[in-house]
Amino acid sequence: MKKDNKMAIAASKVHEVREITRIERIGAHSHIRGLGLDDSLEPRNVSQGMVGQFQARRATGIILEMIKEGKIAGRSVLLAGQPGTGKTAVALGLAQSLGADTPFTLMAGSEIYSLEMSKTEALTQAIRKSIGIRIKEESEIIEGEVVEIQVDRPVSGVGAKVGKLTLKTTEMETIYDLGNKMIECLMKEKVQAGDVITIDKATGKISKLGRSFTRARDYDATGPQTRFIQCPEGELQKRKEVVHTVTLHEIDVINSRTHGFLALFSGDTGEIKSEVREQINQKVAEWREEGKAEIVPGVLFIDEVHMLDIECFSFLNRALENEMAPVVIMATNRGITRIRGTNYKSPHGIPIDLLDRMIIVPTIPYQESELKEILKIRCEEEDCEMSNDALLVLTRIALETSLRYAIQLITTSSLISRKSKNIEVGVDDVKRAYTLFMDENRSSQFLKEYQEDFMFYEAEEPAEMEVA
């Protein structure tokens, strides 16, 4: 009996571990797949996780095309709108549309104050992370179909192995002598007669491309992963162009002797000397002239840009004039407010001279139908079954309070529903979550009613004191 209990406990533990490994993180914008535009850059009603904001998405689509053509480098875009109007969603949609090859760096305006380096160094690193270098490199390769592999092992079983490899194309056939290292590589890749392989002459790396069509009938059954390709044509030895994409910041770190390339993995790069960057810029310029490298201007997205101070803004003004500058997209939800580090007020808390250089894209509040569609998408993303009536109540809450608050209620009402063993989230579950968790307006009302009971309560000061 005890043995059976132990086995049952062990089985439950294994089950728990398996369940935990399936947990996936769901972020606030994990449903965004792109900008949701058609071929003529017209926004669709609901597409790729994007809803509404037609004007902002259309404008961002034009910016996307300019980035792809390399015509907007060194300019800046400002996404300005009320809180919860989808500014970050539009920026992330742009990042998804650009693809993996174009560098995209995301940072918050307040990040620069928490780093152990100067503000300008933090901005410089962010800018250089957003500039890609596409390096072209030619390498000699041997490509052909394996006819035969002969491996001679020593009789004693001790010593180096030797062998011969016969490769062919449609026009020629050659026998190569193999050393111990090459034999090990062939065995590791499980290369056999009939496979089409490539061998890099510089590194000796062997890659298996697939199996030749001429050997397709060698076996009665083949696995689904087996790829059949034609026997290569022409010469066995060929020159192949390989393209690597790295960012300028990665090159900076690798060439900074105090840190070395391991700093890329630890994330602690520290400050990099300006002399190192100047030498790298010269080298990259030489590579561009020789046709070895190509610059890929990426995107630097600075959220909550009003948190930057006057020093950072003046630095960005200068950095944007540089020939190797990325597209800088900024987002803010502030109106006319004080520029940090000064006593002057300005639209969005950004100096006028920097605003002059920006393309400003406004975002507008969502309509009721759009709020409903966003909440529906978020329910699908969070794997929450919600009834139509509950969704209508949640939409009404979003309209009266804020979209962010309504999204927070999805998970909470789902958990309440699960505790009640309901199949889907109902109106009562949403109402219960609404009463348990306050929104900003009800919280303010609560403070007004009970403000004298809170610590450090102070009466409102005269208007003249606000200037200080």
Spatial separation of the C-alpha atoms in residues 441 and 401, rounded to whole Å: 7
- Better pLDDT: 251 or 16: 251
Q: Which domains are assigned to the chain?
A: 26-102+298-365 (3.40.50.300), 137-242 (2.40.50.360), 368-452 (1.10.8.60)
Q: CA 48, CA 40: separation in Å to the nearest integer?
A: 16
Residue bearing the bigger pLDDT, 29 or 36: 36
User: In the block, which residue shows the tokens 């961002």?
Assistant: 60
**100-109 pLDDT per residue, tens:** 778 888 888 8
* Chain center to CA of 60: 18
Q: Average pLDDT for residues 126-140, to the nearest whole number? A: 85
Question: Is 80 exceeded by the pLDDT of residue 215?
Answer: no
Q: d(Cα 424, Cα 391) in Å, to the nearest integer?
A: 11
Neighbours of 33 (CB within 10 A): 14
Q: 267-276 long-range contacts, Cβ below 8 Å, gap at least 24? A: 269/125, 270/116, 270/117, 271/117, 271/118, 271/121, 272/121, 272/125, 276/252
Q: Note the pLDDT tens digit of each residue in 373-404.
A: 888 888 888 888 888 899 999 999 988 888 88
124: amino acid identity, one letter:
T
At 338 the pLDDT is 92
Task: Return the higher-pLDDT residue of 250 and 460.
Answer: 250
Segment 284-303 shows an average pLDDT of: 85
Mean pLDDT of the 313-328 span: 86
pTM over the 0.85 mark = no
CA-CA distance, 182 to 100, in Å (whole number)? Answer: 34
- Are 193 and 149 contacting, i.e. CB atoms less than 8 angstroms apart? yes
The upper half-sphere exposure of residue 310, i.e. CA atoms within 13 Å in the direction of its Cβ, equals 11
The pLDDT value recorded for residue 268 is 60
In this predicted structure, what is the pLDDT of residue 9?
A: 47
pLDDT in tens, 51-70: 888 888 888 888 888 877 76
Amino acid symbol at 195: D
Q: How far is CA 218 from CA 198, 211, 230, 265, in A?
A: 22, 11, 15, 46
Assess contact for 306 and 349: CB atoms under 8 A.
Answer: yes
